Amino acid sequence: MLKTITTITAITGALLLSGCGAKPEALIKNHDTNSLRAYINIKNGAGVPSWSANESKAFRNALEVAAATTLEKKYKYFAFIEPKEISNFDGSLLNTAEEILKKCSPSSLLALSIPGTGGLHKCGTYNTNASLSIVMFNEEQKDFTVFNAQEVLDYMKEKDLYDGLEVDVKQL
């Protein structure tokens, strides 16, 4: 009986902790002389266990990483390429942190989805895993809306949504 309890405890602990230490990734690829492309991947809300009510942090963390990576690479603005639901190139007019977080943060009911399912929500990302593709620019664009990276981070800090994530930035 004790052996069974110990085994169940060990398996449960492993399941609860799997993916908890995942570090956000930003893979950088030169786009052209005026812009830079990045692929951003967040797993489990940058360390939040996939079973928790905080699964909705994945998208928020991805937005933070997009803005921070843009500034780190010495650019001022970024636009979403993917997911298509929020692509500035496909007609999305969202361009502030407040707007995109309001649209893309899942409701508390979605965040409490069935464990292990991830709960796909309305912006094309999962509660536990957000993958985004952005392009960074030094100037505002005329043909589509862009996000001001500094304003995004300032808003997140003001609303206590900023986590100060360390990002693993890799050049492709």
Side-by-side strand order, sheet with 35-43: 147-148, 77-82, 129-137, 35-43, 25-32, 168-171
* 156: pLDDT strictly greater than 60: yes
Res 56: pLDDT: 58
**What is this structure's pTM?**
0.73
Query: Are 79 and 66 spatial neighbours (Cβ–Cβ below 8 Å)?
Result: no
Res 165: pLDDT: 84
Name beta bridge partners: 78. 136, 147
Which residues in 133-150 are b (16+ Cβ under 10 Å) and which e? bbbbbeeeeeebbbbbbe
Mean local confidence (pLDDT), 97-109: 75
Average pLDDT over the chain, rounded to an integer: 73
Range among 11-15, 57-61, 168-172 with highest mean pLDDT value? 57-61
**DSSP-based helix, strand, coil % in the chain, nearest 5:** 35, 25, 40
Mean local confidence (pLDDT), 119-140: 77
Mean local confidence (pLDDT), 46-57: 50
Res 80: pLDDT: 92
